[in-house]
Amino acid sequence: MTTIQHTPTTAGHLIVATLVSHGVQRAYIVPGESYLDVLDGLHDSPIDTVVCRHEGGAAYMAEADGKMNPRPGIAMVTRGPGAANAHVGLHTAWQDSTPMVLFVGLIPFEHREKEAFQEFDPKAWFGTGAKRVMILDHAERASEVVAEAMFAAMSGRPGPVVVGLPEDIIKRQVPSDLHPRIPVASGGMTVTDWKALNGALHGSEKPLFIFGGNDWTAEAAQEFTTWLEEHDLPAAAEWRCEGTVPFTSPSYVGPIGYGRPKPTYDLLEETDLLIFVGTVPGDVITDGFAIRQNWEKKNFLVTIDPSLRGRSGPVSHQIVAKPEVFVRDLVRMELPVKDSWREWTTRMRAEQERFAALPDATPGDGQARMSTLMAQLVPTLPRDAMVTFGAGEHTNWAHRYFPTNSYASMISARNGSMGYSIPSAVAASLDSPGRRVVSIAGDGEFLMNGQELATAAQYGATPLIIVMDNQEYGTIRTHQERDYPHRISGTQLKNPDFALMATAFGGFGIRVENDVDVPAALQAALAAIDHERRFALIHLIVEQRVKAY
């Protein structure tokens, strides 16, 4: 009889080996003594270990990584305070349906429930904001738990998973056998689905597709766009999800979300058939669930999540499928091209083109203007340029003008989380080093995770960062002016010189106060990126109440 030999290893090293077998290329970490054996496993692995300066930054980077790749983003932090700091990234992943796995070092197993140093209950902390919270209490199950976590993050509606790693358990010797990957079901259109959607499209005069979510592939996005264009059908983007249908496509009719232009807003009232692909009509799309309250419009929701969390109003038909397999079936559907479709799409596309038309690029007198910077920047961008941002009124400049022409080219936080811009820009630049990555940050948001410029410098990330400095929390000020006019409170800021900060971190920084200096500043920043291979930051001092629309 042949005896099978199991080479021993530690549970911590086996965790790393399992991540490698799942195609993980990068882990964003803040180190801690609670998971030293995993760090030791990373030492000789092909996984790039990106050491971050704050757990919130690491979690944001992992969340952004999950948006850009067909696998979960990976973050690793220590117990107690480290886990608390990372919670903001988990909330972003939960609300944005982003696959992510957060590994948290824990106190030794034998110290549990004794209020040991930095002890906390992971299931109590994360149980309502993660798809699964798993604790590795048995060392021999290390590979199985990791495989299960990767599966849980990707299956159904994607989202975050937390894996707790007791300090003593991960040091134990275990067999080195790897648990196989667990396949993720993709669903698909049934015959009933096909007939229902085909019939609805045939009977519609003004259909509208709305795309969103992070569960697409680049190939599916391209096939979807081609099919829409062939049939003269329109598609709008969920808030902060632009790029699946290219900015330049004749079928793209604009973003639907906060700050949308009125013609795009009116789409929801005028259309007679809605097909949501990869997303659902939540509160942002429907203006706080208000638009759909009295709807009797036929609608299809294409999502792999059978619970339909986040929807508003009645649902005519759900197709349980990921976008990739839905598009695979959709493109086989033969439909007549109606004159009403062509007229409807052409009219709405014209509205989008008017909305996105660049302002005058000629600098004016006086204070620097974001409109001048965008008008100067956009013509320089290659077709595969990416934009990242967090939350605030500064994001509207990206929504309106940035040419998102591929999936995924807009990496943002749809949960309204501030501090996301710099970490996501670092992650995007590391993931796609050959692409132009632009991050638009507000002054309030920038300082929440601006320290991750150190991470950019350490690992060679080269984003262009535009800090739009209006010396206030602008979005809150806008709401304040509406509800408490002429009573400004708690929204004003005094800022440092962000350009000097960028230089101190090893990048290029330039401060721009006058509009006439914008073109030269942009040229110098791009030269620093392209010729010196370092990140660049433009600190743009603008008027307080300036808005994109």
Supply the CATH number for residue 308's domain: 3.40.50.1220
Burial of 73 (0-12, 13-18, 19+ CB in 10 A): buried
Q: Averaging pLDDT over each range in 1-10, 116-125, 234-243, which range is the top one?
A: 234-243
pLDDT band at residue 547, thresholds of 50, 70 and 90? low
Q: Confidence class of residue 491 from pLDDT cuts 50, 70 and 90?
A: confident
Q: Is the same domain home to 239 and 165?
A: no
Separation between Cα atoms, residue 60 and residue 490, nearest integer Å: 26
Element of type H or E holding 73: strand 73-77
For residues 232 and 245, membership in a common domain is answered with: yes
Among residues 353, 379, 403, the one where a domain terminates is 353
Residue 179, in any domain of the structure: no
* 178 within some domain: no
Confirm whether 181 is domain-assigned: no
- Torsion angles phi and psi, residue 131, rounded to 5: -70, -40
Q: Are residues 393 and 324 in the same domain?
A: no
pLDDT value, residue 7: 78
More confident residue, 284 or 98: 98
Tell me the pLDDT of the chain averaged across its residues: 92
Does residue 184 belong to any structural domain of this protein?
Answer: no
Number of residues that this document lists for the chain: 549
Say if residue 224 is in the same domain as residue 341. Answer: yes
Asked whether residue 370 falls in the same domain as residue 433, the answer is: yes
Where does a domain end: 138, 172, 206? Answer: 172
Question: Is residue 182 situated within a structural domain?
Answer: no
Lowest mean pLDDT among 158-167, 428-437, 469-478, 529-538: 469-478
Indicate whether 209 and 299 sit together in one domain. Answer: yes
Phi, psi of 8 (to 5 degrees): -75, 150
Confidence of residue 1 (pLDDT cuts 50, 70, 90): very low
Shared domain check, 366 and 341: no
Listed residue (242, 212, 275, 183) closest to 411, CA to CA: 242
The crossing angle, in degrees rounded to 10, of helices 36-43 and 11-21 is: 50
> Which pLDDT value is given to residue 5?
45
If asked whether residues 153 and 300 sit together in one domain, one would say no
Please write the tens of the pLDDT for every residue from 365-424.
999 999 999 999 999 999 999 999 998 888 888 989 999 999 999 999 988 789 999 999
Last residue of a domain, one of 353, 386, 402: 353
* Of 224-233, 286-295, 417-426, 442-451, minimum mean pLDDT range: 286-295
Confidence class for position 291, pLDDT limits 50, 70, 90 = low
d(CA 91, CA 110) in angstroms, rounded, equals 30
For the segment 425-442, the average pLDDT, to the nearest whole number, is 96
pLDDT band (50, 70, 90) for residue 290: low
Among positive and negative, which fits the CA dihedral 231, 235, 241, 245?
positive
pLDDT for 182 equals 97
135 and 215 in a single domain? The answer is: no
Q: Peptide bond before 391: cis, by omega within 30 degrees of 0?
A: no
Give yes or no for residue 257 having a pLDDT over 60: yes
Confidence tier at 264 by pLDDT (50, 70, 90): confident
- Same structural domain for residues 228 and 262? yes
Residue 327 shares a structural domain with residue 414: no
pLDDT score recorded for residue 116: 66
Residue indicated by tokens 């973050």: 75
Helices (H) and strands (E) in the chain, counts: 19, 20
Domain region containing 526: 358-539
CATH of the domain at 156: 3.40.50.970
Q: Reading across the β-sheet that carries 26-29, which strands appear in turn? A: 48-51, 26-29, 73-77, 100-106, 160-166, 132-135
Q: Say if 168 falls within a structural domain.
A: yes
In this prediction, residue 281 carries a pLDDT of 87
Do 393 and 473 touch, CB atoms closer than 8 A?
A: no
When pLDDT is cut at 50, 70 and 90, the band that residue 495 belongs to is: very high
Q: Which residues contact 467 (CB under 8 A, 6 or more apart)?
A: 441, 442, 443, 446, 498, 537, 538, 539, 540
Q: Locate 341 and state its tokens.
A: 């479709």
Q: Which residue has the tokens 């499209």?
A: 201
* Token reading at 337: 């091209």
Number of domains in the chain: 3
pLDDT at 8: 85
Q: Residue 37: which of 212, 167, 146, 147 has the closest Cα?
A: 167
At 510, phi and psi to the nearest 5?
A: -145, 135
User: Is residue 352 over pLDDT 90?
Assistant: yes
State the pairing for strand pair 508-512/464-469: unpaired
Same domain, residue pair 166 and 67: yes
Residue type (1 letter), 14: L
What pLDDT is recorded for position 2? 42
Does 1 fall in a domain? no
In-domain check, residue 419? yes
Would you state the structure tokens that stand for residue 8, as one six-digit string?
């021993």
- pLDDT over threshold 50, residue 69: yes
